Structure 1
């Protein structure tokens, strides 16, 4: 045997060695990891099912003993297992699994498999790939979490941009550039298409949506582009700058819009009984409800002042990374959800709160939930998501009093300020 053959044989022997499964692992945990990795690598569902069958046909002890190589010697007809596949399909599955590093095909002539001769589909490469597969799993979960967060961000931006543009276009003299902004807004992909966008493409789209939102805010902030000023001493619910400067207009000085009506922006429905050229006609009258009436009357500055330091940080990040004692409603909503997610609240709990309590109520409930975590006078909240769901359930029973909860938080912050804790 030549030196080249000897070197090749040693390399082949080293490649077929494995250390077995990590401490505390079993065959099922290994199978879950392999399935996740196969999905990341783009394997089809049928191919992954074939791999699961291959793993299930191998003794669990073969995965733990480094002196043994786990391999499946079952014939292709057995792997088909009544799934309606052909031998060629199974062959393609095996080649695909080998290409992504999950199996090694050591077959005899014409694809023969034999236990005695040690011919079949070996899973040694997958055992040696465990560190890489675990890293890929962590990265995949992080990317999925970011993708979900970006889609939620786009959803909030869509709502605010749509309503803001509707208000701007209804002005007697719309500012320059509104048509271009409307055209850009209409070019946004539908929400159901976002799920299939790559992470990088979604990042770019959400960044473009943020830029459009900032341009709209710049137009709103320019003097002379609104039809009226807020009523003196107007006590409002949580409001965005758009609502504070535009939605509370009183074009002819005849009719004013109640704070309950301004609590939730909406671009559809019939307008209130007021002057036909008043901008309030962009908002329906059915927003006056018991939900809005049961909310505490606060503005953005008060809400930011009552937020915990951690929540303020998230609001500042959502608002562009700069501290702002009077942030926009978009920054508040995004910051509250980011904070709730950070402390372990599920997205379904947040959606349930919005659906039941409206966005304004969900924001107030989120602030109260976050503050409840650090209240020294009460037992600590173990499950913030459960606490938020409990508030939703209490509202369904007619037992929720957000005003009382918010006033309690207000009193607590006042005590902390007096004691020099803040």
Structure 2
């Protein structure tokens, strides 16, 4: 079978790659092609060998097709396969609509009659499919990023819930909400590898509900317990004994009165995780109150940039003011807009904790618009904050005070 490959001079009849794309871009699409057409690994590698046997310029030239002229025996030797296996892969790729086989009756391949007759494996069908494959790749990448973001949000929400539970048990270990929330925490999955986006969305909703209930209970207990104002220095410091440890004890005497036995058993995961989770260092030893006690959500919300407030509005939903988890989630969501690599966020959370990292990001985001010393690289600034926190030299409270005061001055 022969084919007249070259068109009339000056007439463009062959498909070409989208503008700006080269043969190498098609090679990088190979994993997508393999999944989309359910190709075996050996068949996908054979297709790659066919692609690499063509001239790169033919993929962008509308007057010619990219054609692999190599004989089956040559390709078999190159791939470490038998000629029969290569023939089988050719048939598979042809049926999938990725190549067009144009060879002579004796199987010869090449360019004859001054380039007018082309015999070989044409990859023009693959070229025609590239735009759709690029769309498929973009959708797959978006889904991957969404899945990655949901896992990150679930991990952050879990850590916020854990710390809020620790504060609740410290203030009111006999509260009925504490036992209920401990049960919820104990039933959370330890890993998210096997969860799809739908499962992660459901898990995130459960975590949101638990965090909001825990923080609301903490706020009510704080308002009704006669706790001193933030910053008030007590002459006798509170004991460092952890209520969680006493609740894990095996004897009934060690369990706080009024706390169900099954609730105590689920505190074990919280205590056990202390050795596994990265613990944020106490990088500001002069800052003892909780961050949202020193800097109220209302002040922080007002000090945020318009972009950050947009993400906070999305995170808090119908609530009037954002809570601790809302600040963390908004920081995670704004990372792509600021061009910050997720690894920089992980570094910051390990150095200073989720909430402090979110507050640092609020400072960095607002400083992008500083008329005197704007921050040009938010990712570099966040990594710098993390290094300073590890060295015990980060004055995040001072940065937040300056940000709040500047915002108040601007408003007034």
Q: Report the TM-score, using the length of structure 1 for normalisation.
A: 0.70
Kept in 1, the 8 Å contact 2:100–2:125? The answer is yes
CA root-mean-square deviation: 4.4
Kept in 2, the 8 Å contact 1:349–1:388? The answer is yes
Alpha-carbon shift at residue 256 of structure 1 (Å)? 4.1
Equivalent of 1:330 in 319, 325, 330: 325
Matched position secondary structure for 1:291:
coil
Partner of 2:310: 313
Q: What CA distance in whole angstroms lies between the structure 2 residues aligned with 1:394 and 1:304?
A: 25
Q: What CA deviation, in whole Å up to 9, does each residue of 1:79-116 have, x standing for no partner?
A: 34455444455445434444543322345569x35225
Q: What CA distance in whole angstroms lies between the structure 1 residues aligned with 2:146 and 2:119?
A: 44
Q: What CA distance in whole angstroms lies between the structure 2 residues aligned with 1:363 and 1:54?
A: 50
Alpha-carbon shift at residue 128 of structure 1 (Å)? 1.5
Q: What CA distance in whole angstroms lies between the structure 1 residues aligned with 2:38 and 2:73?
A: 25
Partner of 1:5: none
Kept in 2, the 8 Å contact 1:171–1:226? The answer is no
If asked which structure has higher relative contact order (CA below 8 Å, sep 6+), I would say 2
Equivalent of 1:54 in 41, 50, 54: 50
Alpha-carbon shift at residue 374 of structure 1 (Å)? 1.5
Equivalent of 1:374 in 369, 378, 384: 369
| Mapping for residues 341-420 of structure 1, pairs under 5 Å | 341-378=336-373, 380-396=374-390, 399-418=393-412
Q: What CA deviation, in whole Å up to 9, does each residue of 1:275-312 have, x standing for no partner?
A: 97499x9888x989541426564343332232222212
Kept in 1, the 8 Å contact 2:344–2:383? The answer is yes
Alpha-carbon shift at residue 396 of structure 1 (Å)? 4.7
Kept in 2, the 8 Å contact 1:162–1:267? The answer is no
Kept in 2, the 8 Å contact 1:58–1:70? The answer is yes
Partner of 1:135: 135
| Mapping for residues 11-410 of structure 1, pairs under 5 Å | 17-33=13-29, 36-39=32-35, 41-81=37-77, 83-87=79-83, 89-107=85-103, 112-115=107-110, 116=112, 118-161=118-161, 171-172=173-174, 174=176, 178=180, 182=183, 186=187, 188=189, 190-194=191-195, 197=196, 202-211=197-206, 213-214=208-209, 217-218=212-213, 221=216, 229-235=224-230, 256=238, 277=256, 290-293=282-285, 297-319=294-316, 321-325=317-321, 327-378=322-373, 380-396=374-390, 399-410=393-404
Kept in 1, the 8 Å contact 2:153–2:332? The answer is no
Q: 1:61/1:221 Cα in 2 relative to 1: closer, same or farther (>3 Å)?
A: closer
Q: 1:23/1:183 Cα in 2 relative to 1: closer, same or farther (>3 Å)?
A: closer
Alpha-carbon shift at residue 389 of structure 1 (Å)? 1.6
Q: 1:192/1:49 Cα in 2 relative to 1: closer, same or farther (>3 Å)?
A: same
Query: Which piece of structure 1 moves more, 47-56 or 85-94?
Result: 85-94
Q: What CA distance in whole angstroms lies between the structure 1 residues aligned with 2:243 and 2:193?
A: 21
Q: What CA deviation, in whole Å up to 9, does each residue of 1:181-223 have, x standing for no partner?
A: 94796364722334xx3xxxx2343234314531563477479
Alpha-carbon shift at residue 371 of structure 1 (Å)? 0.7
Q: What CA deviation, in whole Å up to 9, does each residue of 1:331-368 have, x standing for no partner?
A: 11011121233221110111111112222331221111
Kept in 1, the 8 Å contact 2:99–2:121? The answer is yes
Q: What CA distance in whole angstroms lies between the structure 2 residues aligned with 1:340 and 1:347?
A: 7
Alpha-carbon shift at residue 51 of structure 1 (Å)? 2.1
Kept in 1, the 8 Å contact 2:76–2:82? The answer is yes
Kept in 2, the 8 Å contact 1:171–1:227? The answer is no
Q: What CA distance in whole angstroms lies between the structure 2 residues aligned with 1:24 and 1:216?
A: 48
Kept in 1, the 8 Å contact 2:37–2:96? The answer is yes
Q: 1:332/1:113 Cα in 2 relative to 1: closer, same or farther (>3 Å)?
A: farther
Q: 1:343/1:81 Cα in 2 relative to 1: closer, same or farther (>3 Å)?
A: farther
Alpha-carbon shift at residue 127 of structure 1 (Å)? 1.6
Kept in 2, the 8 Å contact 1:316–1:324? The answer is no
Partner of 1:240: none
Number of aligned positions between the proteins = 366
Q: What CA distance in whole angstroms lies between the structure 2 residues aligned with 1:289 and 1:356?
A: 6
Q: 1:173/1:330 Cα in 2 relative to 1: closer, same or farther (>3 Å)?
A: closer
Kept in 1, the 8 Å contact 2:50–2:68? The answer is yes
Q: What CA distance in whole angstroms lies between the structure 2 residues aligned with 1:312 and 1:345?
A: 18
Q: What CA distance in whole angstroms lies between the structure 1 residues aligned with 2:207 and 2:162?
A: 11
